[in-house]
Amino acid sequence: MRIKTEASKAAGGSPWKWIPSLYIAEGIPYCAVNVLPVLFYCEMGISVAEITAWTGLLSLPWMIRPFWSPFVDIFSTKRRWTLAMELLMTMTMLAVALLLPTSFFFASTLSVFACMAFFSATHDISADGFYMLALDERQQADFVGIRSTFYKVATVVGQGGLTLLAGWLETRGMQPSGAWSVVFWCLTALFFAIWLYHGSALPRLACDRPTGGATPGEIVRNFGLTFASFFRKRHIAAALCFMLLYRFPEALCGKMVAIFMKTPLEEGGLGLTLTQIGIANGTVGVIALLAGGILGGIAIGHGGLRRWLLPMAAALALPCVVYCLMAIHPETDFSIICIAVGLEQFGYGFGLTALMMYMIYFARGESETSHYAFCIAFSMAGIMLPGMAAGWIFERLSSLGIAGFSGGNPFEIYFWLVMAGCALTFLMCRIALPSVEAMSKDS
Is the per-residue pLDDT at 3 higher than 80? Answer: no
- Residue 398 has a pLDDT of 80
- CA dist 244 and 63 (Å) reads 12
Domains and CATH numbers, the chain: 10-205 (1.20.1250.20), 222-443 (1.20.1250.20)
When pLDDT is cut at 50, 70 and 90, the band that residue 109 belongs to is very high
In whole angstroms, give the CA distance from residue 356 to residue 332: 34
Weakest mean pLDDT among 4-18, 121-135, 287-301, 424-438: 4-18
What pLDDT does residue 390 have?
Answer: 92
Please state, as a whole number, how many other Cβ atoms lie within 10 Å of the Cβ of residue 140: 14
Q: What is the pLDDT of residue 282?
A: 80
Q: What is the pLDDT of residue 217?
A: 76
12-27 average pLDDT score: 85
Are 415 and 274 in contact, with CB atoms under 8 Å apart?
Answer: no
Pick the closest to residue 118 from 61, 188, 72 (CA basis). 61
Q: Output the pLDDT for position 302.
A: 82
CA–CA separation, 311 and 426 (whole Å): 10
Give residue-wise pLDDT tens across range 180-215: 999 999 999 999 999 999 998 888 878 877 766 666
Closest by Cα among 169, 178, 163, 140 to 36: 163
Return the amino acid letter for 179.
A
Residue-level pLDDT at 115:
96
The CA distance from 1 to 17, in Å, is: 13
Tell me which H or E stretch contains 296: helix 285-303
3-state secondary structure 210-237: CCCCCCHHHHHHHHHHHHHHHCCCCCHH
Nearest Cα to Cα of residue 64 among 132, 152, 124: 124
155-179, pLDDT tens digit by residue? Answer: 888 888 899 999 999 999 899 999 9
Average pLDDT, the chain: 86
Determine contact, residues 373/66, Cβ cutoff 8 Å.
yes
pLDDT tens readout for residues 296-350: 888 887 878 888 889 999 998 888 899 999 988 888 889 999 999 999 999 998 9
Cα(49)–Cα(51) distance, rounded to whole angstroms? Answer: 6
DSSP structure string for 160-212: IIHHHHHHHHHHTT--HHHHHHHHHHHHHHHHHHHHHHHHHHS---TT--PPP
CA distances in angstroms from 291 to 162, 257, 349, 353, 366, listed in the order given: 22, 20, 7, 11, 33
Angstrom distance (rounded) from CA 251 to CA 56: 10
Number of helices (H), then strands (E), in the chain: 21, 0
DSSP string across 349-363: HHHHHHHHHHHHHHH
- Backbone dihedral angles phi then psi of residue 3, each to the nearest 5 degrees: -115, 115
Cα separation, 221 vs 316, in Å, equals 39
Backbone phi, then psi, for 255, in 5-degree steps? -75, -20
Residues 246, 295: Cα–Cα separation, whole Å: 19
* Ramachandran class of 367: left when φ > 0, alpha when ψ lies in -120 to 50, beta otherwise: left
Name the band, by pLDDT with cuts 50, 70 and 90, for residue 52: very high
Rounded to whole angstroms, how far apart are CA atoms 281 and 11? 40
